Structure 1
Amino acid sequence: MTHPSVLVINAGSSSIKYQLVDTVDGEAIASGVVERIGQSEGIVTHKHAGEQTRLDEPVPDHATGLRRVLDLFAEHGPDIASANVVAVGHRVVQGGSLFSGPTLVTDEVVEQIRSLVPLAPLHNPGHVAGLEVARELLPDVPHVVIFDTAFFQTLPEAAFTYAIDREVAAANQVRRYGFHGTSHDFVSKAAAEFLGRPLADLRQIILHLGNGASVSAVRGGVAVETSMGLTPLEGLVMGTRSGDIDPAVIFHLHRTAGMSVDEIDTLLNKRSGMLGLTGESDFRAIHELVEQGSQDARLALDVYAHRLKKYVGSYLAVLGGVDVITFTAGIGENDDVVRGLALAGLAELGIEIDPVRNAGRKKEPTIISTDASRVTVLVVPTNEELAIAQQSVARVTELAAAPTATPL
Structure 2
Amino acid sequence: MATIRTKILSHFNGEMLTGVAFKDHARRKRIIAELSGIEEITINEIAESLNISVPKATELLNELADEGFVCDKGKRSEGPGRKATFYGLATDSCYFIGLEIKKYKLNIGLMGFDKTMIKASYEIPFFFEEAKTALQEIVNQVRQFIQMTGVPAEKIVGMGVSISGRINVRTGEILTIYHFSDAPVKQTLEQEFGMPVYLDNDSRTMAYGEYHFGKYAAHSEVLVLNLDYGMALGMFVNGKPVFGTSGYAGELGHIPLFDNEKICFCGKKGCMETEASGRALIEWIEAEMKAGSNSVLARVLERKKLIEIEDVVEAIQKGDNLAIQGIGNIASKIGRGLAVTINLLNPQLIILSGTLSQVGESLLLPVKTSLIQHSLTLVNSDTKVVLSDMFEKAGLQGACLLVRDKIVGLV
> What CA distance in whole angstroms lies between the structure 1 residues aligned with 2:252 and 2:183?
19
Match of 1:181 in 2: 204
Distance 1:208 1:135 in 2: 28
Counterpart in the other structure of 2:117? 27
- State the one-letter code of the partner of 2:229: N
Aligned-residue identity in percent = 9
Contact preservation (8 Å) 2:94, 2:155: yes
Correspondence 1:70 to 2:160 = no
Q: TM-score, normalised by structure 2?
A: 0.52
Of 348, 372, 377, the match for 2:385: 377
Q: Distance in 1 between matches of 2:103 and 2:352?
A: 28
CA contact (8 A) 2:109 2:400 kept: no
State the distance in 1 between where 2:204 and 2:95 align. Answer: 23
Task: Supply the AA of the counterpart residue of 1:317.
Answer: N
Question: 1:388 and 2:399 equivalent?
Answer: yes
1:326 counterpart = 2:351: yes
RMSD: 4.9
Question: What is the alpha-carbon distance in structure 2 between the residues aligned to residue 342 and residue 14 of structure 1?
Answer: 27
CA distance in 2, matches of 1:125, 1:12: 19
1-structure distance, mates of 2:360, 2:182: 31
What is the DSSP-based 3-state SS (H/G/I as helix, E as strand, rest coil) of the residue aligned with 1:136?
helix
Which of the two has greater helix per residue? 2
Contact 1:209 1:328 in 2 (8 A): yes
- Give the length in aligned residue pairs: 282
Counterpart position of 1:157: none
Q: Partner of 2:169 in structure 1?
A: 99
Q: 1-side partners of 2:154 and 2:243: how far apart?
A: 39
Correspondence for 2:364 among 327, 339, 344: 339
Deviations 1:94-153 (A, max 9, x none): 666x535xxxxxxxx57xx2xxx6x41x355599554344333322xx3131322xxxxx
Give the gaps of 5 or more residues in structure 1.
40-58, 101-108, 149-178, 236-242, 252-260, 353-372, 400-408
> 2:158 matched to 1:87?
yes
SS at match of 2:149: coil
CA distance in 1 between counterparts of 2:326 and 2:377 reads 25
Which protein has the larger Cα radius of gyration, Structure 1 or Structure 2? Answer: 2
5+ residue gaps, structure 2 = 1-90, 287-306
Separation in structure 2 between the aligned mates of residue 231 and residue 315 of structure 1, nearest angstrom: 11
Residue equivalent to 1:147: 200
* Deviation (angstroms), 1:23: 3.6
Rounded to whole Å, the distance in 2 between the matches of 1:215 and 1:38 is 24
For residues 146 and 38 of structure 1, the distance between their equivalents in structure 2, rounded to whole angstroms, comes to 17
Alignment-mate amino acid for residue 331 of structure 2: A
Is 1:206 the equivalent of 2:224? Answer: yes
Structure 2 Cα separation of the partners of residues 225 and 397 of structure 1: 18
- Per the TM alignment, residue 91 of structure 1 is displaced from its structure 2 partner at its CA by 3.4
**Displacement of 1:78:** 2.0
1:278, 1:286 within 8 Å by CA — same for their partners in 2?
A: no
Distance in structure 1 (CA, Å) of the matches to 2:181 and 2:366? 37
CA distance in 1, matches of 2:383, 2:166: 34
CA deviation string 1:155-200 (max 9, x = no partner): xxxxxxxxxxxxxxxxxxxxxxxx7122234434567x84645x2x
Is 1:283 aligned to residue 312 of structure 2?
yes
User: Structure 2 counterpart of 1:324, which letter?
Assistant: L
DSSP 3-state at the match of 2:152: helix
Distance verdict in 2 for CA 1:70–1:29, change over 3 Å: same
Q: CA–CA distance in 2 between the matches of 1:126 and 1:385?
A: 27
C-alpha separation between the residues in 1 aligned to 2:166 and 2:114? 28
Aligned equivalent of 1:234: 254
**Relative to structure 1, is the Cα distance of residues 394 and 36 closer, same or farther in structure 2, using a 3 angstrom cutoff?**
closer
Aligned to 1:303: 329
With a CA cutoff of 8 Å and minimum separation of 6, indicate the structure with the bigger relative contact order.
2
